[in-house]
Amino acid sequence: NAGVMQNPRHLVRRRGQEARLRCSPMKGHSHVYWYRQLPEEGLKFMVYLQKENIIDESGMPKERFSAEFPKEGPSILRIQQVVRGDSAAYFCASSPGEFTEAFFGQGTRLTVV
Amino acid sequence: GDSVTQMEGPVTLSEEAFLTINCTYTATGYPSLFWYVQYPGEGLQLLLKATKADDKGSNKGFEATYRKETTSFHLEKGSVQVSDSAVYFCALSGRSGGGADGLTFGKGTHLIIQP
């Protein structure tokens, strides 16, 4: 059973471009969580999704950021018109249920130049 | 709001040394407490957890005790190995059951064990 897969591992974007980060949860997991780690900071919760539903997006910036978890395929975190301050490591986690242990991916390191 | 403070790294120790990584928290109510570990090139893994005061979580020789009176959850190991080299994250969840939507993390402590 493969772990949580995130790709790409590293992503470089110029200011104003779009960044798309992908997360494939573990097999059988229907709950996905996105976290962001800014330099010198701890991981911060962004959004919690179940298949085709956003459950909690209280940690996600209101503008330029969006997330989806379609019926088929990976979860996508999309950042439009990236700025230097978006440079961070973005971690995805998945779990089989709402109050169960979550398993994290290796993260995507986004660099905005 | 909730917050977690853990000791700055890197922490460098010799093999077989005693390890303590301090973690203190601020939270309302009665959070669950966790230690996660991230080995080089891998994702975060749950190392141990405690869900109520005075509980002790343990795994792979690591231990941490939930101390409500000092709001602490220090990670300890009696004899570290080179393979313990990793980044360790202390975290809390204010939500029942510790679902990953409610996790608040510390900044992480990079542990380096030298042979």
Is A4 strand, coil or helix?
Answer: coil
Q: How confident is the model at residue B109 (pLDDT cuts 50, 70, 90)?
A: very high
- Bigger pLDDT: B93 or B21? B21
Give the chain A residue nearest B109 (alpha carbons).
A42
Structure letter (DSSP) for residue B66: -
Rounded CA-CA distance B87/B45 in Å is 11
Question: Which residues of B have a CB under 8 Å from any CB of A?
Answer: 4, 36, 38, 41-46, 89, 91, 95-108
Across the interface, do A106 and B43 touch by the CB < 8 Å criterion? yes
**Would you say residue A100 has pLDDT above 90?**
no
The string of pLDDT tens digits covering residues B31-59 is: 889 999 999 888 888 999 998 899 999 99
Q: What pairing do the DSSP bridges indicate for beta strands B23-26 and B3-6?
A: antiparallel
Rounded CA-CA distance A65/B61 in Å is 41
A-chain residues within 8 Å CB-CB of B44? 91, 93, 104
Q: Mean pLDDT score of chain A, rounded to an integer?
A: 92
Across the interface, do A99 and B95 touch by the CB < 8 Å criterion? yes
**Would you say residue B96 has pLDDT above 60?**
no
- Count Cα atoms within 13 angstroms, Cβ side, for B1: 7
The string of pLDDT tens digits covering residues B61-86 is: 999 999 999 999 999 999 999 999 99
Across the interface, do A42 and B106 touch by the CB < 8 Å criterion? yes
Going A5 to B107 to B54 to B78, the CA torsion angle's sign is positive
